Amino acid sequence: MSTISSSLFDVNHLDALSNQTTCIHRIDPRVKLLTTLVFIASILSLNKYQISALIPFAIYPIVLISLGNLPLKYLLRKVLLAAPFAFFIGIWNPFLDTNILFNIGPVFISGGWLSFASIMIRFTLTVFAVLALIGSTGFNAICMALEKLGVPRGFVVQLLFLYRYIFVLTEEASRMVRARSLRSFDGNGMGIRVFGSMIGNLLLRTLDRAQRIHTAMLSRGFDGEIRLAYPLKINVWDILFLLGWSALFILMRFYSLPHLMGDLFSGLVK
């Protein structure tokens, strides 16, 4: 029960971080969204065996987290929570790709281990960037930015509702777990058989609650348009933010900065 309740608060806390007034928070949501998309596209387009070329990309989430005054430990817990998904996707690569690429002394490194490490690094960088985007922008503003950028309104509204109804689902699940705990004695009613009926009841309760929320929204004039308390306006600094970061990402995509620095250092030593 406490785990579900704390998870509900945890999701609320991520959205509450967007209410700050740092220089990152003041950047137009469309600009931050486009910049993050360029960041993700640059990372995902790299060769699956490239690892050192991914390291410089860490500068973007680091800057967002630092200047946006976002709690690093909180974001790190979020990343670790989702890390098993990427781990179980990539852990099969060493068994499928056994081609030896190089060795470190007696240790031989196959392409599968390199691609596995590459998947984990890509996952960490992209998830940190997305969490920093949400924490510095807010999900409402991100959905509005998607709509302004030409994404169909129906898709954006469904995405917003999906995010908002997570709270409804979590709240109803918390109530059901609390009720089961209060009615269970000596372990009775805590077995696996109870979960089937609980999931069905959870679906019915969530649908009923969602219907009441939708009726309340319609009675308050909801027409499917996402609105913010402040107007969206792109200024010169926003354009510089987008162009500057995008140029850096493209540069790091086609030129491996660690290799360039290594060649430069080797030339100076010689």
Which tens digit of pLDDT belongs to each residue from 81-103? 888 888 888 888 888 877 877 77
Which tens digit of pLDDT belongs to each residue from 170-179? 777 777 777 7
Which tens digit of pLDDT belongs to each residue from 210-229? 788 778 888 887 776 666 66
Percentage of the chain lying above the pLDDT 70 cut? 82
What is the separation of C-alpha 84 from the centre of its chain, rounded to a whole number of angstroms?
A: 14
Cα separation, 42 vs 266, in Å, equals: 28
Helix (H) or strand (E) holding 247: helix 236-254
Q: Please name which of 99, 96, 93 lies closest in space to residue 113, comparing C-alpha atoms.
A: 93
Q: How far apart are the first and last CA of the chain?
A: 65
* Residue that is written with structure tokens 């490194």 in the block: 109
Instruction: Give the list of residues 6+ apart from residue 258 with CB closer than 8 angstroms, or none.
Output: 52, 53, 55, 56
For helices 2-16 and 72-90, what crossing angle results, to 10°? 110
| Single pTM value for the model | 0.79
The pLDDT mean for the chain works out to 81
CB-CB contact of 32 with 99 (8 Å): no
